[in-house]
Structure 1
Amino acid sequence: MRIRVVNPNTTRAMTDAIERCARAVAGPGTVLDAVANPTGPASIESHYDEALSVPGILAAIRQGEADGVDGYVLACFGDPGLDAARELAAGPVIGIAEAAMHTASHLGRGFSVVTTLGRTIGRAGDLAERYGMQRFCRGIHTCELPVLALDTDPDARKIVTEACRAAVEADGSDAIVLGCAGMAELCAHLRDEIGVPVVDGVAAATLTVQSLLTLGLRKSGRGEYAPPPPKPYTGLLHAFTLEPQR
């Protein structure tokens, strides 16, 4: 099987780190690669960033379909463009917030999300509601580090560790969900330091896609996730015009 991890931002270093985390859990016989968004923001920290990341995400999915990719991981905790990506792909497309929250719900009575900036708390809460995770999500906390600082700030590991420890104490949670793909490589360290399960959505989503494909499951082609109806697109979006399927 072939899985592609799509990083919705354009930062190559983060894409490489995401790929390492996904490869670490991919099983024998799974061919996995990661691609950065071909167009869009360097990091995603606002609704504006998220909206402008979606055309590049969809371009990456269309390219993946041409390349024979079987399933996709969408590696941003906002799960941007997830529904549209599912319309385009024949196989499963899994967002890391979706996968991480569901995985954490199996590990205890409740989890805390630790994410980057305070302005993203609302989006994480929206996703917990969408995925039916409100009864498990005991709190959403931030470390107040910009996404790109996770790789450049020498104190980033310490800051994230303390934020996770404080979240567990404040919420009485049984697990931590990491609320940014840029935190993925901290997962093992945080688990050792804090003493509760720590779920990285990149790994969780990779294994979810792999499991679905192993079960022979693909996306339903009916209803809302059927291929979108072809129609002309103009201006900057001309390249996104879809031709009628034969």
Structure 2
Amino acid sequence: MRIRVINPNSSLPMTRAIEATAREICADGTVIEACCPPGSPLSIEGHSDGVLAAHHMLKLVEESGPADGFVVACFDDTGVDGLRERVSGPVLGIGEAAMHAATMLACRFSILTTLKRSIPIIEDNASRYGLGARCKGVHAANIPVLALENENDDHAFSVIREAAAAVLEKDGSDALVLGCGGMTHFARRLGDTLGIPVVDGVSTAVKFVEALVGLGLKTGKTGGYAFPLSKTPPQTGKEHV
């Protein structure tokens, strides 16, 4: 089984951290191919970054070889719908995977992301997935995405840990979802510290995709995720504008 794990931003250190998590958690016989699109923003913090990253991610996938399944390692689930149109194997964003996993572990969960500007995007996604009622709140640690690149950065971990503790006290949730792929290397330490389930979307999405591929399930191609139509301009004798 070959799973392509795509970090939609162009941060190589973050891609390597995501790759390490994916390879640690995957089953024997699963090949993890981690990559990030050149030309994409270094981090995805807001709508415009997401649009640019989605464009470069789709271009990267079109130029790459086939895979059995795909993980999009941005918690905003950047470009997931577009990628589902382009490939036949299952595609999971780490946001959708983590939220669904949290509902299997707790009555209510909270999400901790990086910056406040990401909160509306994540809230909208939770509602679209039908999980808005189970999510007690989406909160920001007020730390930039690129500050999470180094897994040995005790300051970054301290910021995340303190913010997580405050979120859980405020919401009274039973589980915490990490709202950024760059937090993947903090998941176990946070779980040990907080004493509750801490859901990392990278590892969760990899295991879910493994399960879907193992079940022989693929993306449906008769409706909204059908392959894109060919865009052949009409033959009018004039240049198509």
Whole-angstrom CA distance in 1 between matches of 2:78 and 2:22: 19
Question: How far has the Cα of 1:232 moved from its partner?
Answer: 5.8
Q: TM-score, normalised by structure 2?
A: 0.93
- Whether 1:183 and 2:183 are equivalent positions in the alignment is yes
CA deviation vs aligned residue, 1:198-236 (integer Å, no higher than 9, x gap): 000001111111000011111112111110001169xxx
Whole-angstrom CA distance in 2 between matches of 1:133 and 1:164: 20
- Whether 1:143 and 2:141 are equivalent positions in the alignment is yes
Work out whether residues 116 and 179 of structure 1, in 8 Å CA contact, stay in contact via their aligned partners in 2: yes
Whole-angstrom CA distance in 2 between matches of 1:63 and 1:107: 38
Q: State the secondary structure of the residue aligned to 2:6.
A: strand
Q: State the secondary structure of the residue aligned to 1:177.
A: strand
Whole-angstrom CA distance in 2 between matches of 1:75 and 1:35: 10
Whole-angstrom CA distance in 1 between matches of 2:108 and 2:119: 17
Query: What residue number does 1:240 align with?
Result: none
What's the % identity of the aligned pairs?
47
Whole-angstrom CA distance in 2 between matches of 1:154 and 1:109: 31
- Whether 1:24 and 2:24 are equivalent positions in the alignment is yes
Amino acid at match of 1:186: F
1:125 equivalent among 123, 148, 153: 123
1:79 equivalent among 52, 66, 77: 77
Give the paired residue count: 231
Q: State the secondary structure of the residue aligned to 1:68.
A: coil
- Whether 1:37 and 2:37 are equivalent positions in the alignment is yes
Amino acid at match of 1:101: M
Unaligned runs of 5+ in 2: 234-241
Q: Which runs of 4+ in 1 moved over 3 A?
A: none
Question: How far has the Cα of 1:56 moved from its partner?
Answer: 1.1
Query: What residue number does 1:6 align with?
Result: 6
Please report the RMSD computed on the Cα atoms of aligned residues, expressed in angstroms.
1.3
Q: Superposed, which structure 2 residues align to 1:191-230 within 5 Å? A: 191-230=191-230
Whole-angstrom CA distance in 1 between matches of 2:66 and 2:44: 28
Question: How far has the Cα of 1:40 moved from its partner?
Answer: 1.3
Work out whether residues 6 and 60 of structure 1, in 8 Å CA contact, stay in contact via their aligned partners in 2: no
Whole-angstrom CA distance in 1 between matches of 2:220 and 2:191: 36
Q: State the secondary structure of the residue aligned to 2:230.
A: coil
Q: State the secondary structure of the residue aligned to 1:223.
A: coil
Q: TM-score, normalised by structure 1?
A: 0.91
Amino acid at match of 2:156: A
Work out whether residues 70 and 91 of structure 1, in 8 Å CA contact, stay in contact via their aligned partners in 2: yes
Whole-angstrom CA distance in 1 between matches of 2:26 and 2:107: 28
Whole-angstrom CA distance in 1 between matches of 2:125 and 2:66: 30
Q: Superposed, which structure 2 residues align to 1:63-74 within 5 Å? A: 63-64=63-64, 67-74=65-72
Query: What residue number does 1:242 align with?
Result: none
Whole-angstrom CA distance in 2 between matches of 1:78 and 1:173: 21
Question: How far has the Cα of 1:25 moved from its partner?
Answer: 1.1
Question: How far has the Cα of 1:63 moved from its partner?
Answer: 3.1
Unaligned runs of 5+ in 1: 234-246
Q: State the secondary structure of the residue aligned to 1:134.
A: coil
